[in-house]
Structure formats: C-alpha cells, structure tokens
Amino acid sequence: MFITLEGVDGAGKSSHLDWLKNWFELRGHRVRMTREPGGTPMGEKLRELVLHDSMHPDTEALIMFAARREHIEQVIRPALAAGEVVISDRFTDASFAYQCGGRGLSESRLAVLESWVHADLHPDATLLFDLPTEIAAQRLASAREPDRFEREKTDFHARVRAAYLRRAEQFPQRIRVIDGSRDIESVRLQLTSVLESLT
Ligand code: TYD
C-alpha cells in the first residue's frame, strides 16, 4: 500500500509520522517512511536546492519531478514490490498545490510531467491535513528557520490550501481530509477511522 501525507506548511503532519508507522507495524506490516522532495541521496541534494535557492517556477516544478523520478525508481517501487507499506511525507498532490495553486503554473503542464514520471503509479490513499492558513502560520512562527515556501505570504498559503481542497473534491475516494486544527488526540481519532477503512 502506498500512502501519502499532504497539507499546507504548519498543518502538523510531521507530528503524526511515528504514530502512523507504529499503527501499521502493530498490525504486522513492514513500513517504509520517506519524504519529498528527497527520499534518495540525489533527491536530498535537490531538496536543498529547491528549498533554499531562488529559481523560475518551471525550474522548481522540474526539480520536484526529477527528484520524484529517482524516488520512485530507487525507493517507492522496490519497497512496494517487497510488500512494504510506503508512507511518503508529500508526493505529486504537493506539486499541484504548491507549483500550480501557489505559483500559478498550469495544471495541464503539470499533468504532462505527472504522466511522464508516474503514469502508472498513484497513491492508494492520501491523508490531507487541512486547517485555516492563519492557524498554520501561527504554528510556523514558533518553529525553526523558515524555508522558501514557508516564507511565502498568507495569500500564497491560502492558494495552496484551496488547491489541495480542490484535489480532494476531484479524488474523494483517495484523498481523505483530516481536520488538522484540532488537538493531537482528536487528529489521531480521525486518522484511526480513516486507516481502519483502508485495511
Ligand atoms: P515539508 O514537508 O514542509 O518539509 P518540512 O516539514 O521539513 O518543512 O516540505 C518542504 C516544502 O516543499 C513544502 O513547503 C512544500 C514544498 N513542495 C512543493 O512545493 N512541491 C512538491 O512537489 C513537494 C513534494 C514539496
């Protein structure tokens, strides 16, 4: 099973990574945790570039997909073939949300990259951590040094959020929206009910 986690910066998905891994391991699954951009040695180098150097929005999208190409080849496909549950902290929905919603790239151009890089591979389920962007911004303000995306203004994050929610409407079977504005316990109850419906 291939599961992806998504949401605006500050939506809180990182607080649940270990818990999600445990949830599957307790049920006898081997779990491969990974992330994008990144997930491979080359992908991590590309992550450094794309999170910190300024560049044209097309370049940004192309780097996301270049890193993704390696990630799929070296990590995701082999792990799925070995019967592992793969949990990726972000995947292609993030490109639609950030590069199209946030930066304004056309969805049809991005769809070309998607079908080039992974026409035949899609997440089985996507957990979308959603919350008002003002709350996300408050949470980020107390966090570490912001990267290029986290430094963007509120309207950028509002567009990213809206793009994620549009994707959730487009793919209601796959994308499950989690109310990330609630406390950790309530988020875990929501996650449990989604995970139980998947397994
Ligand atoms: P993030 O998961 O927020 O990392 P961290 O929790 O360590 O800050 O991901 C880094 C950023 O990359 C995030 O702001 C969203 C951005 N991103 C894109 O813009 N497009 C993509 O395709 C992906 C995978 C991520």
For the chain, residues with pLDDT lower than 70 are none
Give the CA-trace dihedral at 88, 89, 91, 93, to 10 degrees.
130
What fold, for 2-198?
Rossmann fold (3.40.50)
Question: Residue holding tokens 């997909």?
Answer: 65
Ligand 1 center–CA 91 separation, angstroms: 9
Domain boundaries, the chain: 2-198
Ligand 1 center–CA 7 separation, angstroms: 9
Helix H or strand E encompassing 33: strand 31-35
Task: Please tell me the predicted confidence (pLDDT) of residue 192.
Answer: 97
Ligand 1 center–CA 156 separation, angstroms: 14
pTM of the model: 0.96
Task: Please tell me the predicted confidence (pLDDT) of residue 142.
Answer: 79
Residues 181 and 133: their CA atoms lie apart, in Å, by 10
What percentage of the chain exceeds 90 in pLDDT? 92
Q: What is the pLDDT of residues 74-96, one digit of tens each?
A: 999 999 999 999 999 999 999 99
Helix H or strand E encompassing 47: helix 41-52
Burial class (CB in 10 A: 0-12, 13-18, 19+), 83: exposed
Task: Please tell me the predicted confidence (pLDDT) of residue 160.
Answer: 98
The token duo for 180 is 């990330």
Task: Please tell me the predicted confidence (pLDDT) of residue 140.
Answer: 86
Ligand 1 center–CA 84 separation, angstroms: 24
Ligand 1 center–CA 82 separation, angstroms: 27
Strand partners, 86: 2, 32
DSSP per-residue letters across 51-81: HHS---HHHHHHHHHHHHHHHIIIIIHHHHH
Task: Please tell me the predicted confidence (pLDDT) of residue 157.
Answer: 96
Residues 183 and 180: their CA atoms lie apart, in Å, by 8
- The protein residue with its alpha carbon nearest to ligand 1, atom 14, reads 149
Ligand 1, CB cutoff 6 Å, lining residues: 9, 14, 36-37, 64, 89-90, 94-95, 98-99, 149
Task: Please tell me the predicted confidence (pLDDT) of residue 29.
Answer: 98
Task: Please tell me the predicted confidence (pLDDT) of residue 48.
Answer: 98
- Cβ pair 90, 33 in contact under 8 A: no
- The protein residue with its alpha carbon nearest to ligand 1, atom 19, reads 98
Task: Please tell me the predicted confidence (pLDDT) of residue 147.
Answer: 93
